Amino acid sequence: MITNENTAMRLLRGSQAIDRMRSDVNKVISMIRGLLPGMGVWKIDERFVFEKTTWTITGVTSYSEGNTFECWIPVDKGLEGVYKNDGRSAHLCPKDVETVYDDLPLFVDSLLKKYPVLKQRLQPFLDVADKFE
Protein backbone atom coordinates (compact mmCIF):
# COMPACT_ATOMS: atom_id res chain seq x y z
CA MET A 1 0.00 0.00 0.00
CA ILE A 2 1.36 3.43 -0.96
CA THR A 3 0.76 6.11 1.63
CA ASN A 4 1.12 9.86 1.29
CA GLU A 5 4.33 9.70 3.31
CA ASN A 6 5.68 6.99 1.04
CA THR A 7 4.89 9.08 -2.03
CA ALA A 8 6.47 12.16 -0.48
CA MET A 9 9.67 10.25 0.33
CA ARG A 10 9.82 8.79 -3.17
CA LEU A 11 9.39 12.27 -4.64
CA LEU A 12 12.23 13.51 -2.48
CA ARG A 13 14.52 10.63 -3.51
CA GLY A 14 13.55 11.14 -7.16
CA SER A 15 14.34 14.83 -6.94
CA GLN A 16 17.71 14.10 -5.36
CA ALA A 17 18.49 11.51 -8.06
CA ILE A 18 17.62 13.96 -10.85
CA ASP A 19 19.73 16.69 -9.22
CA ARG A 20 22.70 14.31 -8.91
CA MET A 21 22.43 13.04 -12.49
CA ARG A 22 22.12 16.60 -13.83
CA SER A 23 25.13 17.66 -11.76
CA ASP A 24 27.18 14.67 -12.97
CA VAL A 25 26.41 15.45 -16.62
CA ASN A 26 27.40 19.10 -16.16
CA LYS A 27 30.61 18.20 -14.30
CA VAL A 28 31.76 15.75 -16.98
CA ILE A 29 30.97 18.15 -19.82
CA SER A 30 32.68 21.03 -17.98
CA MET A 31 35.76 18.90 -17.38
CA ILE A 32 35.97 18.00 -21.08
CA ARG A 33 35.31 21.61 -22.09
CA GLY A 34 38.17 22.79 -19.88
CA LEU A 35 40.60 20.36 -21.51
CA LEU A 36 39.69 21.03 -25.16
CA PRO A 37 41.95 24.08 -25.49
CA GLY A 38 45.48 23.02 -26.33
CA MET A 39 44.43 19.80 -28.08
CA GLY A 40 45.74 21.05 -31.41
CA VAL A 41 42.22 21.26 -32.85
CA TRP A 42 41.17 24.86 -33.46
CA LYS A 43 37.66 24.41 -34.72
CA ILE A 44 35.31 21.62 -33.81
CA ASP A 45 32.07 20.47 -35.41
CA GLU A 46 31.36 16.93 -34.30
CA ARG A 47 28.25 14.77 -34.18
CA PHE A 48 27.97 11.50 -32.26
CA VAL A 49 24.82 9.46 -32.92
CA PHE A 50 23.55 6.75 -30.59
CA GLU A 51 20.27 4.87 -30.28
CA LYS A 52 18.69 7.20 -27.71
CA THR A 53 20.67 10.42 -28.18
CA THR A 54 22.69 12.51 -30.62
CA TRP A 55 25.46 14.67 -29.16
CA THR A 56 27.05 17.62 -30.92
CA ILE A 57 30.05 19.81 -30.15
CA THR A 58 30.53 22.99 -32.11
CA GLY A 59 32.77 26.01 -31.81
CA VAL A 60 36.34 27.10 -31.39
CA THR A 61 38.54 25.13 -29.01
CA SER A 62 41.15 27.81 -28.34
CA TYR A 63 39.30 28.77 -25.15
CA SER A 64 36.91 26.71 -23.04
CA GLU A 65 33.86 28.96 -23.44
CA GLY A 66 34.22 28.91 -27.22
CA ASN A 67 32.37 25.65 -27.70
CA THR A 68 28.86 24.32 -27.19
CA PHE A 69 27.87 20.81 -26.18
CA GLU A 70 24.34 19.73 -27.02
CA CYS A 71 22.34 16.55 -26.65
CA TRP A 72 19.31 15.76 -28.79
CA ILE A 73 16.75 12.97 -28.47
CA PRO A 74 14.59 11.51 -31.24
CA VAL A 75 11.00 12.68 -31.37
CA ASP A 76 8.21 11.93 -33.83
CA LYS A 77 9.58 13.92 -36.75
CA GLY A 78 13.21 14.62 -35.99
CA LEU A 79 15.29 15.58 -32.98
CA GLU A 80 14.58 17.70 -29.92
CA GLY A 81 17.37 19.56 -28.16
CA VAL A 82 17.24 18.54 -24.50
CA TYR A 83 20.64 19.61 -23.17
CA LYS A 84 22.85 22.55 -23.99
CA ASN A 85 26.02 23.62 -22.22
CA ASP A 86 27.87 26.59 -23.70
CA GLY A 87 30.12 27.40 -20.75
CA ARG A 88 27.86 30.19 -19.54
CA SER A 89 24.78 28.14 -18.78
CA ALA A 90 23.55 24.57 -18.92
CA HIS A 91 19.97 23.40 -19.16
CA LEU A 92 18.54 19.90 -18.77
CA CYS A 93 14.83 19.26 -18.09
CA PRO A 94 13.91 16.71 -15.41
CA LYS A 95 12.04 14.53 -17.90
CA ASP A 96 15.19 14.10 -20.04
CA VAL A 97 17.85 13.75 -17.34
CA GLU A 98 17.85 9.96 -17.21
CA THR A 99 18.20 9.55 -20.99
CA VAL A 100 21.07 12.04 -21.22
CA TYR A 101 22.78 10.58 -18.14
CA ASP A 102 22.49 7.00 -19.45
CA ASP A 103 24.07 7.90 -22.82
CA LEU A 104 26.80 10.14 -21.38
CA PRO A 105 29.30 7.23 -21.15
CA LEU A 106 28.74 6.39 -24.83
CA PHE A 107 29.40 9.99 -25.79
CA VAL A 108 32.51 10.32 -23.65
CA ASP A 109 33.97 7.01 -24.86
CA SER A 110 33.35 7.97 -28.50
CA LEU A 111 34.90 11.40 -27.96
CA LEU A 112 38.00 9.89 -26.35
CA LYS A 113 38.40 7.41 -29.23
CA LYS A 114 38.20 10.24 -31.75
CA TYR A 115 40.60 12.50 -29.80
CA PRO A 116 43.30 10.38 -28.08
CA VAL A 117 45.04 13.54 -26.87
CA LEU A 118 41.92 14.35 -24.84
CA LYS A 119 42.10 10.92 -23.24
CA GLN A 120 45.72 11.59 -22.30
CA ARG A 121 44.67 14.84 -20.66
CA LEU A 122 41.90 13.04 -18.73
CA GLN A 123 44.11 10.11 -17.72
CA PRO A 124 45.05 11.50 -14.27
CA PHE A 125 41.35 11.55 -13.36
CA LEU A 126 40.82 8.03 -14.73
CA ASP A 127 43.86 6.73 -12.84
CA VAL A 128 42.43 7.70 -9.44
CA ALA A 129 38.75 7.09 -10.23
CA ASP A 130 38.48 3.89 -8.20
CA LYS A 131 40.17 5.22 -5.06
CA PHE A 132 36.93 6.34 -3.41
CA GLU A 133 34.40 3.97 -4.92
Helix or strand run (H / E) with residue 114: helix 97-114
* pTM of the predicted structure, to 2 decimals: 0.85
Hey, what amino acid is at 4?
A: N
Mean pLDDT, 10 residues at a time, the chain of 133 residues:
74 94 94 76 83 89 72 87 85 91 96 89 89 76
pLDDT of residue 47: 94
pLDDT at 80: 87
Torsion of the alpha carbons at 125, 42, 38 and 89, rounded to the nearest 10: -50
54-60, strands of its sheet edge to edge: 43-49, 54-60, 67-75, 78-85, 90-92
Phi and psi dihedrals of 53, rounded to 5?
Answer: -145, 160
Q: What whole-number distance in Å separates Cα of residue 101 and Cα of residue 85?
A: 14
